Amino acid sequence: MRTDTLAIDFGTSNSAVALAYDGGIYRIPIEREGDTLPTAVFFPAGGGAMRIGAAAGAALIAGEEGRYMRALKSVLGLPLLHESRLIAGRRRTLAAIITEFLRELKARSEAATGLRFPRALSGRPVHFHTNDAEKDAQAEADLRACYRAAGFEAVEFLPEPEAAAIACQGLGRPADLGLIVDIGGGTSDFSVFTNGANGPGIVASHGIRLGGTDFDRATSLAHAMPLLGLGGELRREMGSGLLPVPRAPYVELATWAKIPFLYTPETRRLAADMAKMAVDGRAMARFQRVVEDELGHELAFAVERGKIVANRPGGEWRIAMGFIEPGLAAPLDRAGLDAALASERGTLGAAAVETLTLAGVTAEQIGRVILVGGSSLMGFVAEEMRALCPGAEILTSEAFTAVVDGLALAARK
């Protein structure tokens, strides 16, 4: 049994670390005795150490001056990862920030266990980028470089749904074929697997760049952003007629990874110009305030909370936006949420069908579908899988830790 290899699930929204031992799996408490921590960072404006996890979110909610960042994993494989940006008074790259985050995970794990971890077994999505082999290879190379820079002497990767299959092999009634559906913050991954005496046998795996942050964006654009002017019209500076409000800045405002880079002089000038020319001046003034006061993350958290509540059976919620304007809120119920996510549901279902095709099996041959990943808790995911595999048992595993558990078991060998 290896004890020098740390199993790491570096996720878009949450991260976890674990170690397998003779008695089972030890999920290392890297934050407040919890099994996971948010994959988020905060840089105080006045300098000082980078904060991660819940401490980063607490600083943002408390209104501390600084820069909050989330969904860092989504920039792997992109040029943005290596671009130097002025963040809290220092020029930094996102690659350096990811490195610091991983270095902190290593340090906390070694402090909690008294062990040294020169090696890492990391989860990775089946595809970081859909239908782009070059970006996909670059993303893994980028992440490997971050692990090495964080102090790991060696790192290996295992696709996340395959790790989940290892952790979930004994879940549910015995079946010749199972389907792992792993919906995370940034990607959706699928694996068809068989039972085996020495662990699951992976028949085929597939993945797409679609996850919970995309669900947040779609919900925000459909329900929150219209209250900030999206879908409205602008008067022309010269001549008659009206122009549609540009969609691009709202898409950036609704995208977790892009929010920190929206607060530029160019965007502030755009918001001011649109506020002057908007037919609905009050709505556009709200957009201007979000940009000027840097309220993008507060809005994203409000949308995320609304999505979670509306997803519950009978759930009805409002996206509370009183921090922009007193009393401002966007109604949101399950029907409205499902309508906003109809396109994402279709894409998810098509990816599951493609996985079965790659495996050379039919939906009728699948005996159990196991849902893992935080975003698999969205009601439409189970509904879509039940419609695809009507004869299968639909099971929910440890949504937030199945991947790291499987990684720990794999690292033990």
Residue among 288, 259, 283 nearest 272 (CA): 288
**Claim to verify: residue 240 and residue 379 sit in the same structural domain:** yes
Question: Which 3 state secondary structure label does DSSP give 256?
Answer: helix
**Claim to verify: residue 125 and residue 247 sit in the same structural domain:** no
**Claim to verify: residue 220 and residue 278 sit in the same structural domain:** yes
Question: Which 3 state secondary structure label does DSSP give 117?
Answer: coil
* Mean pLDDT estimate for the chain: 93
Indicate whether 24 belongs to any domain: yes
Q: What is the pTM of this model?
A: 0.92
The answer to whether 219 and 305 have CB atoms below 8 angstroms apart is no
**Claim to verify: residue 87 and residue 236 sit in the same structural domain:** no
Summarize pLDDT for 67-113 with one digit per residue, the tens.
Answer: 999 999 999 999 999 999 888 888 999 999 999 999 999 999 999 99
Report the pLDDT value the prediction gives residue 380, as an integer from 0 to 100: 95
Report the pLDDT value the prediction gives residue 157, as an integer from 0 to 100: 98
Q: How many domains does the chain have?
A: 2
Quick check: 405 pLDDT over 90?
yes
Report the pLDDT value the prediction gives residue 32, as an integer from 0 to 100: 79
Q: What is the band of 2 on the pLDDT scale with cuts at 50, 70, 90?
A: low
Which whole number is the average pLDDT over 161-170? 90
Which whole number is the average pLDDT over 119-123? 97
Report the pLDDT value the prediction gives residue 216, as an integer from 0 to 100: 97
- Angle 244-245-248 (CA atoms, 0-180°, nearest 5)? 120
Report the pLDDT value the prediction gives residue 85, as an integer from 0 to 100: 86
Report the pLDDT value the prediction gives residue 97, as an integer from 0 to 100: 96
**Residues of the chain above pLDDT 90, percent:** 82
**Claim to verify: residue 55 and residue 190 sit in the same structural domain:** no
Which whole number is the average pLDDT over 207-229? 97
Query: What CATH number is associated with residue 362?
Result: 3.30.420.40
Q: Domain range for residue 22?
A: 5-160+405-412
- Angle 281-237-223 (CA atoms, 0-180°, nearest 5)? 35
Alpha-carbon dihedral 364, 365, 370, 373, rounded to 10 degrees? -80
Burial track 213-234 (b if 16+ CB lie within 10 A, e otherwise): bbbbbbbbbbbbbbbbbbbbeb
The answer to whether 18 and 408 have CB atoms below 8 angstroms apart is yes
Indicate whether 243 belongs to any domain: yes
